Amino acid sequence: MFNFDFYNPTRIVFGKETVAKIDSLIPENARVLVLYGGTSAERTGTLAEVRQALGQRTVYEFGGIEPNPTFETLSEAVALVRAKNIDFLLAVGGGSVIDGTKFVASAAHFEGEDTWQILEAWGSNITKAVPFGVVLTLPATGSEMNSAAVITRSATKTKALLSNPLVFPQFSVLDPTKTFTLPARQLANGVVDAFVHTVEQYLTYPVDARVQDRYAEGLLQTLIEIGPKVVGEPTDYDSRANLMWTATQALNGLIGAGVPQDWASHFIGHELTAIHEIDHGRTLAIVLPSIMDLRRNNKRAKLLQYAHRVWNITEGDDDSRIDQAIQKTREFFEELGVKTRLSDYGMTEKDIEPIIEQLIKHGMTKLGEHQDITPEISRQILKASL
């Protein structure tokens, strides 16, 4: 196991009817900006609950944060924070709203003229951030309990990452009933996102990190068990509660502590989203099976462990068991209603080269746990995903 330094200060408030508790978590004299996405937070009554909980505080609101939050939209929120002397932010939504809030929190006090520099430096130049909390409505990204965010610059179709301990949420309210009104598509994307987050930190090479391995395998097994029910059956509190907590655990730092990590599926998937606007979760379902197949020699030991411990595949030679595990993974995504081929989204071989060009432009030329996935290998992965 590698050396590691684990830190996570986010307070989790979990369960039914917990939105009201934000009153005790935000300073009484705070000037609050509530950030959210589209109309669903208003339509479902979540914003009304938030307003009631905030009571007599000075409250402003900023809506319209996109599913892939854009630098352009978030810059408007930054200007509002500065103009109104906002000193606390509250993200009401899923990963995109939370990611966007992290950028706003860090950009509001940024001393440089161009806040895009925060993304160019991957957040390393953040020295101060506005404190913020979260009311989670869509379980998927784990952003409610980590210090990372992905932001898109529409003008250049660039997706960029920031990560800094100063943008951990102070608290996150996780009420599983907030998922009851979500459409099946978003739920399926959330299950896939949590699954692939786990795989990115697990399916690499062994370093005898037994706790992390067993923890990751338990998360994967949970998602396999509850995923079809969450997506295809009437709302059930227990399955939604397990999804919400699993998605949070998948990317709060625990299973990634002391182990090698991959993230090639995400970086390649980001370009598919940026160029073709395919849902983030769906890009992961497209790319992951091909990475598992083409990188089987690099990942052989963990692929066999994955086949055995997660899918209970014990018969056949090594390659046969790996093939079965990859097929089981693809079938799981498909069972959720998530298509796993580029051709399912109308893409052909001619669409691959622009993606490779973007990977090169954004410096994504050494991906994977061994930093050996070159643009040529990324091209092979995308061709295998057709």
Burial of 192 (0-12, 13-18, 19+ CB in 10 A): buried
**CA-CA distance, 105 to 69, in Å (whole number)?**
14
The pLDDT tens digits for 13-67 are: 999 999 999 999 999 999 999 999 999 999 999 999 999 999 999 999 999 999 9
pLDDT of residue 112: 86
- Positive or negative, the CA dihedral 313, 220, 281, 117 is negative
**CA-CA distance, 213 to 207, in Å (whole number)?**
10
Residue type, 19: V
Tokens linked to 220:
């994967």
**CA-CA distance, 153 to 72, in Å (whole number)?**
7
Q: How confident is the model over 351-363, as a mean pLDDT?
A: 97
**CA-CA distance, 384 to 386, in Å (whole number)?**
6
The pLDDT tens digits for 218-274 are: 999 999 999 999 999 989 999 999 999 999 999 999 999 999 999 999 999 999 999
Tokens 């101060």 found at: 128
Of 177, 362, 368, 166, nearest to 263 by C-alpha is 368
Q: How far is CA 194 from CA 51, 78, 243, in A?
A: 30, 29, 9
**CA-CA distance, 126 to 165, in Å (whole number)?**
9
Q: How far is CA 358 from CA 41, 97, 152, 157, 379, in A?
A: 34, 25, 13, 9, 12
The β-bridge relationship of strands 58-62 and 88-93 is unpaired
Q: Max Cα separation, the chain?
A: 66
CB 340 within 8 A of CB 254: no
CB 330 within 8 A of CB 304: no
pLDDT of residue 279: 96
Residues of the chain with CATH 3.40.50.1970: 11-178
- Statement: residue 149 has pLDDT above 90: yes
The pLDDT tens digits for 133-148 are: 999 999 999 999 999 9
Q: How confident is the model over 78-88, as a mean pLDDT?
A: 98
**CA-CA distance, 35 to 73, in Å (whole number)?**
12
CB 285 within 8 A of CB 278: no
State the chain's mean pLDDT as an integer: 97
**Residues 11-178, CATH architecture:** 3-Layer(aba) Sandwich (3.40)
pLDDT of residue 223: 98
The β-bridge relationship of strands 158-163 and 148-153 is antiparallel
Task: Tell me the three state secondary structure of residue 278.
Answer: coil
**CA-CA distance, 39 to 145, in Å (whole number)?**
24
CB 244 within 8 A of CB 178: no
pLDDT of residue 109: 95
Residues of the chain with CATH 1.20.1090.10: 183-384
φ, ψ at 299 (rounded to 5°): -110, 15
CB 302 within 8 A of CB 211: no
Q: Which CATH superfamily is domain 183-384 in?
A: Dehydroquinate synthase-like - alpha domain (1.20.1090.10)
Residue 25 bridge partners (DSSP)? none
CB 182 within 8 A of CB 99: no
Of 132, 174, 165, nearest to 147 by C-alpha is 165
- Cα 179 to the chain's mean position, in Å? 16
pLDDT of residue 377: 98
Q: Compute how many other C-beta atoms are within 10 angstroms of the C-beta atom of residue 16.
A: 11
The pLDDT tens digits for 184-215 are: 999 999 999 999 999 999 999 999 999 999 99
* 113: confidence class by pLDDT, cuts 50, 70, 90: confident
